[in-house]
Structure 1
Amino acid sequence: MPQYSATDRPALGLICGNTYSVFVDSGNSPAHARDFLQLVEGMDASPVKFVVITHWHWDHIFGMDTMGLLSISHDLTKEKIQYLTTLAWDDASLDARVETGEEIEFCSSMIKREMPTRDELKLKTPDISFNSKMELDLGGVTCIVEHVGGVHAQDSLIVYIPEEKIMFLGDCIYQDFYSGEWSYDLDELTILLDKIRKYDVDYYVTGHQEPMAHAELWHWMDELVRVGEIVDLEVSMDQAVARFNEHEKVMPTEEQLEYIQNFISGSQKKLSETK
């Protein structure tokens, strides 16, 4: 089910084996989960047994209770969601957490837009959690679920189907946006991409974009890493742009400027941590 940016609905996945099927992520609201369940009801698919949660962010977990399935996550995801179950989700509580910096304005706004009222929202802690890697045999179809981390969410998982050469990435390749300015860390990005690159994949499904063919995703990632290598540990936008211009003999595009700012923000966070 494709992503829908107006209310920050991420892409949801259905993986069908001969014996049973698995969902990838549960949606950003009970309504999102119901829409997906209704879509699947019209398909000739084996019974759905599990939902794999790629990471703890609200837009991937708020439909878990509505789906009524056994849920699988990383250990850190379970810990995060256990904490989220203790919070109130009314407007005033969301606003208060934005004020303290625990929540970000973007997520608060999208939660209110997707769910003007949250009367039916019930958070559910994952039923099954693991630390590193697990494999599900769906009957003729295999799901390899591996913890890969990354700056977007340290608990991020990927779901790989070797028979189809398809990988669900969740949001693992995206920026860190929960701690100040949106940022990338080149070292962490490189480690993450090495974990992903080892798999033989034809198509990647990301959380908030259209699915990408292998060449398209790696063209993007290689360009991102290249910009990060040029920026290095620079913390000044002017200096970073000058470095890029000197290296490339051309000024950066709007997209490249965004990447430059992301890596500068990452370097600034590192610098502040060492002080």
Structure 2
Amino acid sequence: MLKKLADRVYYMPHYSETDRPALGLICGDEYSVIVDSGNSPAHATDFLGLVGKMDIPPVKFVLITHWHWDHIFGMNTMDLLTISHEDTKEKLQYLKTLKWDDASLDARVETGEEIEFCRDMIKREMPTRDHLKLKVPDITFTDIMELDLGGVTCVAEHVGGVHAQDSSIIYVPDAKVMFVADCLYQDFYSGEWSYDLEDLRTLLAKIKKYDTEWYVLGHQDPKTHEEMWNFLDDLTSIGEIVGQEISLDKAAARFKEVRSTDPSEDQLEFIQNFVNGNQKK
């Protein structure tokens, strides 16, 4: 069964073995909506099977948070009206032109268009892809959209971020729950994993304005407000310590000077991410 996070808000946990992200369900009095469609027809079918066992109003829409494969490959299987940001639709129109057999995936890794991790996870989740059919969203928005589900509203807002510039969050004011999906993660697609401090600050300002008690991330367990912002404040602080530095050794030394301690393994990774971001400029 789906896990209940708050009144009328449920989620299916992420599954790292095949890079299945968390999927969401928001239930109103009149109809319900799904957040993201899954990374395969099988993922979508598993989710819909669990939803079908619940006594809830009918599901009307699927809200897509961004264009990456693991959030959109189940759209056709869900066979529901789909809503996304306009840039997400543009990305999906391009994905529909691609071939997804092993040779085509391997070729895109060779050219740098795809990354090895995603290629390998696609093959693991779907050993064959003859059944894979992509579709584009039916409805798009530019900046923000609000849906009244009957007794419950949800807000979809484009927030961007370095992970995927089309990223949107889905916020449920009545439950104080936000589906952030992958928007807080690093840029994986342009060389070494990286963060940009100014982009991060802009993103966090958009997220922080909402009164949120729970954050649902794409590939981690949900986090409380305290857990989320303890992490994000530390991440921002690391970016500020790194500044414009392009040397990992110098950035790590600066961290030790400021914090009076060596960085943890995770903190060192984030230092590297900000250094990589500076090197890309």
Structure 1 segments, 4+ long, off by >6 Å, are: none
Query: TM-score by structure 1 length?
Result: 0.98
Residue by residue over 1:15-42, the C-alpha shift from the partner in whole angstroms, topping out at 9 and shown as x without a partner, is 0000000000000000000000000000
1:122 and 2:101 equivalent? no
Structure-1 residue corresponding to 2:149: 138
Residue by residue over 1:36-58, the C-alpha shift from the partner in whole angstroms, topping out at 9 and shown as x without a partner, is 00000000110000000000000
Following superposition, the deviation at residue 228 of structure 1 comes to 0.5
Percent of residue pairs bearing the same amino acid type? 71
Structure-2 residue corresponding to 1:99: 110
1:213 and 2:213 equivalent? no
1:148 and 2:155 equivalent? no
Aligned counterparts, 1:51-62, within 5 A? 51-62=62-73
Structure-2 residue corresponding to 1:7: 18
1:255 and 2:266 equivalent? yes
Aligned partner of 1:44: which letter? D
Structure-2 residue corresponding to 1:80: 91
Following superposition, the deviation at residue 246 of structure 1 comes to 1.1
Residue by residue over 1:128-169, the C-alpha shift from the partner in whole angstroms, topping out at 9 and shown as x without a partner, is 111100000000000111000000000000000100000000
CA distance in 2, matches of 1:267, 1:6: 32
Following superposition, the deviation at residue 110 of structure 1 comes to 0.3
Residue by residue over 1:102-130, the C-alpha shift from the partner in whole angstroms, topping out at 9 and shown as x without a partner, is 00000000000000000110000110111
Following superposition, the deviation at residue 245 of structure 1 comes to 1.1
Q: Report how many residues are paired.
A: 270
CA distance in 1, matches of 2:263, 2:100: 41
1:20 and 2:17 equivalent? no
Stretches of structure 1 that go unaligned for 5 or more consecutive residues are: 271-275
Partner SS state of residue 252, structure 1:
coil
Partner SS state of residue 83, structure 2:
strand
Structure-1 residue corresponding to 2:57: 46
Structure-1 residue corresponding to 2:8: none
Stretches of structure 2 that go unaligned for 5 or more consecutive residues are: 1-11
Match of 1:108 among 119, 123, 134: 119
CA distance in 2, matches of 1:152, 1:36: 25
Structure-2 residue corresponding to 1:70: 81
CA distance in 2, matches of 1:168, 1:241: 33
Structure-2 residue corresponding to 1:222: 233
Aligned partner of 1:97: which letter? R
1:236 and 2:253 equivalent? no
Residue by residue over 1:184-241, the C-alpha shift from the partner in whole angstroms, topping out at 9 and shown as x without a partner, is 0000000000000000001010100001110000000000000000001111011111
